[in-house]
Amino acid sequence: MAFSLVVVVFAALLGTQVAISAQGIETSHHGPGMCKAQGGEVGGGSTRRVIDITHSYRADLPKWQSKTGLGVLTSLVSSLAEGDFANVSELKFEEVHSGTHVDAPGHYVQEHYVAGLDVASLDLDTLIGPVLLIDAPRDSNLTAQALQSLHIPPGVERVIFRTLNSDRRLMWNIEWDSSYVGFTTDGAEWLVNHTNVKFIGIDYLSVAAYVDLVAAHRVLLGKKLVIVEGLNLDEVEMGLYTVHCLPLKLLQAEGCPIRCVLSA
């Protein structure tokens, strides 16, 4: 475990990409100018790669416990084609926990909700910073045993888990699927008791396995972890990145759609 921490520290300092999976830690070095960027060169001739890990809000995006998907969210209330002075759309969500979104602590913990721990209160220093993107075991939920096998280094504060959900392309299936992979209660307890993680992301609509939906959420949110769900991890390599996740500054809301990108 001490070796793992050293690897991560030097990765951050030297630009080394770290891949942590059930098979262990792998590293690959990206020297100056080796990272591709969408926006051209960034200082000193080197470039920065930005990867959008947010799902578009499609009508066929899966919706919690629905067979018909999210549906159309926007419609024109003012139209140039109809003679109005501008195109103006309205946006309607039936619930804030849709698509790629964030859970605030008050989602499953009433005392946190009463205390005002809403989306607007989320710490931006937690939503932005170094993150490990990890390939989770494909043969189970995120149990305590599965998490132990990943050897998350001490000191790591943000982890995104790519799971069987991505292999099955569940976020591309219009019908909600209760067999998705998520945290079990013992997995959630292991994470909060044995790591320094305060931000977790996952590739389906819930971080908690359906069989432990309430209990696992309460363990994680009870410790005020920030949870981002519904991430698009289809084309992303495992490794060390910087994550940038920004929700709308909604008051009295326990969740919110969020835009998340990785930079490397």
Tens digit of pLDDT for each residue in 67-111? 999 999 999 999 999 999 999 999 998 899 999 999 999 999 999
Q: Which domains does the chain have, with CATH numbers?
A: 2-263 (3.50.30.50)
Rounded CA separation 236/238 (Å): 7
Question: What is the identity of the amino acid at 150?
Answer: L
pLDDT at 46: 61
Nearest to 256 by CA among 244, 245, 243: 245
Helix crossing, 185-194 with 213-222: angle to 10°? 10
pLDDT at 47: 81
Rounded CA separation 1/201 (Å): 22
Query: How many other CB atoms are found less than 10 A from the CB of residue 81?
Result: 7
Query: Reduced to 3 states, what is the DSSP secondary structure of residue 179?
Result: coil
Query: How many other CB atoms are found less than 10 A from the CB of residue 66?
Result: 13
Q: Strands 128-135 and 239-247: what pairing?
A: antiparallel
Q: What are phi and psi of 179, to 5 degrees?
A: -90, 15
Rounded CA separation 149/74 (Å): 44
Rounded CA separation 29/241 (Å): 13
Rounded CA separation 219/182 (Å): 13
Cα 128 to chain centroid distance, Å, stands at 12
Residues (pLDDT < 50) of the chain are 1-44
> Two tokens at 13?
């300092």
Cα 46 to chain centroid distance, Å, stands at 27
